[in-house]
Every structure is written in structure tokens, then in C-alpha cells.
Amino acid sequence: MMVGRGHRGRPGGGGRVGRGGRPASELPPTDDLTAWLAGRLPDGWFTAAPEVTVDREEILVVGELPAPETPEDADQAARAASAVGRISRFREETREDRMEIARQAEHRYGRKVAWGARIPGQGDDDGVEELFTTLSVPVMTRLRQPERRVLDTLVDAGVARSRSEALAWAVALVGEHTEPWLAELREAMSTVDELRARGPRLDGDDDDAGADGAPTDQA
């Protein structure tokens, strides 16, 4: 199970606001999320540990399902349709259990839970992935005229239907082309989180000292 490609529920946040207007520093940490899900998810749901992505508002759990059996001469469209049907069946059959798990996770981690499923493809086939109900969170920003003109150009050209959709498209494009750099940045932030949680060390601190400062016995 992997927590990645997103904000990792850092306990600190410099006063940034999380879900429901709550500062990110007040959000429960998600350090044990993967372990909790490993114990909570029913056996047999997925063929492997699901991929888990976390930010300040949402936990997204995407698991891999076994590919349905199809005739050997089935074309790519037929295999895709079969995969879509298998994902739809999984979604319906697990709905009540997923709702209960989501309720417990929201209470524990202070974030909504969204679900998804994928079925891998064969050869050049990329497979099928479907995300179920996920959050769409409004993000307020102020743009000056040059930035607004960029968005308006995308709208006028038919790339997007509105400024907000154009902004979302631009963010997605940046994420696609800067993913290696973003991954390094997230890794660096994780290191900072570890140092912050560890706290400062005073000069002369002795790892072998006991609670009263005296060295402990070495058996």
C-alpha cells in the first residue's frame, strides 16, 4: 500500500487552512493510514495493496481488480467494456462496506474518503480506471490581467468552458510535466516533517542518558 502523489497529511502546516476552514496544523496526522487500511479493508477486495493518495481534504483509495475472463479473440473495445462492467459490479457490491469504512476513516483522520478501481490492460492496452465520487474543492485566487488573459485565451479557443475550468486544466498540465520535481519537493517536505516531529536537540545531549540525565547501565 502506498501513500503518494499527494499531500501526506503533515501535522504542521504554517496556519494553512484545511477542510471545513480548519488550519492544516489541526488536521489529524495520517502516518498510520496505510496500516489502518491494511487491517480494515476486507480480504479479497483487491489483487494487491491499494494506492492511497492524501491531501488536506481527501483520502483517495484506488485498488486493482482481477481482469474478467474474455475470449482470446476479443478486441480492445470488448475487453474495455468487460472491465468497465467488472468495476461497476464491484462498486455496487461493496457500496455499504465502503461507506462504513469511509465514515470510520473520516472520524479518525478528519478527511473525506473517495474510492476508485482499476483493471490493468494487456500489451498496448492501458486498461481501465474509474474514480467514484470524489471531491471537487473550490480554490480562491486573485489573478492580474496577464494571468486572466491566459485563461480567457483558453476559453475563447474552446479548450475550456470557463476560467475555472481553464485554471484546472493549467494546473493539471503543470502537474503532468513537473511530476519528478514535485515528487522531490514532497520528499523534501517529508524530511522537514520528520525533523519537526523529532524536535531540537540541546548541545551535550547524550543518547545513553537516563531520564534524570545520568548514564544508564549497559548490560
Instruction: Please report which confidence band the pLDDT of residue 26 belongs to, taking 50, 70 and 90 as the band edges.
Output: confident
pLDDT higher than 70, residue 157: yes
Q: Does one domain contain both 78 and 61?
A: yes
The mean per-residue pLDDT over the stretch 194-211 comes to 65
For the cut 50, the answer to whether the pLDDT of residue 6 exceeds it is no
Closest listed residue to residue 116, CA positions, set 5, 30, 215: 5
Per the structure, the count of domains in the chain is 2
Average pLDDT (98-121) is: 95
Predicted local distance difference test score (pLDDT) of residue 17: 41
Quote the cell numbers at residue 152.
480567457
CA neighbor of 37 nearest in space, from 109, 135, 91: 109
Q: What is the pTM of this model?
A: 0.64
For 129-147, what is the mean pLDDT?
86
Q: Residues 23, 34: one domain? A: yes
The pLDDT tens digits for 93-106 are 999 999 999 999 99
Domain that holds residue 146: 138-200
Question: Are 115 and 145 in the same domain?
Answer: no
Q: What's the mean pLDDT in 110-136?
A: 88
Assess whether 131 and 169 both reside in one domain: no
Please state the length of the chain.
Answer: 219
> To the nearest whole percent, how much of the chain has pLDDT over 70?
79
- Residues 122 and 142 reside in one and the same domain: no
Question: Of the given ranges (19-23, 40-44, 96-100, 144-148), which has the lowest mean pLDDT?
Answer: 19-23
